Amino acid sequence: MDFSVFSRSSKLKWDRTTLLLLTFLAISLVYIPILIWEGERFGTKYTSLVWGGLIILFGIFYMYMVYIPIPRIKIVIFILLLIIGTMPWHYHMKEMEGTLFSDNTYNAHLILFLVSAVLSIPYLFRVKRRIKIHFRKIFELAAIPLKGVENGFTGRPYPVGKWEYTLDEINKFSRFLHKNMIAFPRYYDNRTLLTFSAKMVDPRKQDPDKSSFIAFDASGNITVNISKEDYSQYKSSFTFEQLCLSLSQVFKDLFEKYRNGKQEEIVQVMESFEPKWVKYFQVGLFILLSVSFLVLVIIWFLSQ
């Protein structure tokens, strides 16, 4: 497959905003007027304690319910949400007498949050965006040589033929793809699965309708499956068998590049699909957060 051929008119639909994020944003909008009403009516701020608890619960829910194929990313997100969620409790307790908390400890907590946000938010944005782009472009590359048809989805794993390889070669190739967030492996005794989903569907689920993968067995047989969720992202319908064959060819080309020592070329191919504005946005976001942090620190020191 010629990776240099890439249509500017994407054949994929736009991503849908996750239900989890929408729910969190909806609660955020409700929280602000309730907090204002409580302050004016009762002169208290207990709503902020509930809000802090909800943020921590959201972090726990995110850890266990949302699929992110890199565990350290979940840990970073949870720690950041934990720092944010405990801030209202810290503020409330510093106002109470006889506690270990004070304005100084709260200011330290605030600085910890700002430092964590400056360091983690651009990093998290970059990693998640990179994974999603890589997954989507695998499907985009597979669709380039195909023409739309009607009623193309059949929803079953499709054998696409045999390759010449050893499982050791495939496992090393899989670890390389995992390291570069291109696909994520699942290892078995006699076969290896490379999972991917342009909609970030959790490939660990056993239901084949919920997982897209390419499977390599010890005899050289290749099987490809495309989930209904991933197939539905295409603006046009494609013959399922042809799409599976095309996906296998994408991975075969990547495998041949890896086998021939062209790992950097694989990374360049996948990274070349990221729009330039995304990189500029990331740099701008990091600069904005860094400047905001420095300004707040200066203001804090001047106020002491």
**pLDDT at 39 (0 to 100):** 75
Residue 187's nearest CA partner among 199, 176, 179, 195 is 195
**pLDDT at 190 (0 to 100):** 86
**Using alpha carbons only, how large is the chain's radius of gyration in Å?**
24
**pLDDT at 283 (0 to 100):** 66
**pLDDT at 301 (0 to 100):** 58
For the chain, 304 residues long, the average pLDDT of each consecutive 10-residue run is: 44 48 71 78 78 83 68 80 86 78 84 80 73 78 73 76 90 90 85 76 50 88 86 73 89 93 86 63 67 66 59
Neighbours of 232 (CB within 10 A): 11
Contact by Cβ (8 Å): 227, 201? yes
**pLDDT at 48 (0 to 100):** 80
Residue-wise over 62-81: b if at least 16 C-beta within 10 A, else e?
Answer: beeeeebbeeebbebbbebb
**pLDDT at 9 (0 to 100):** 46
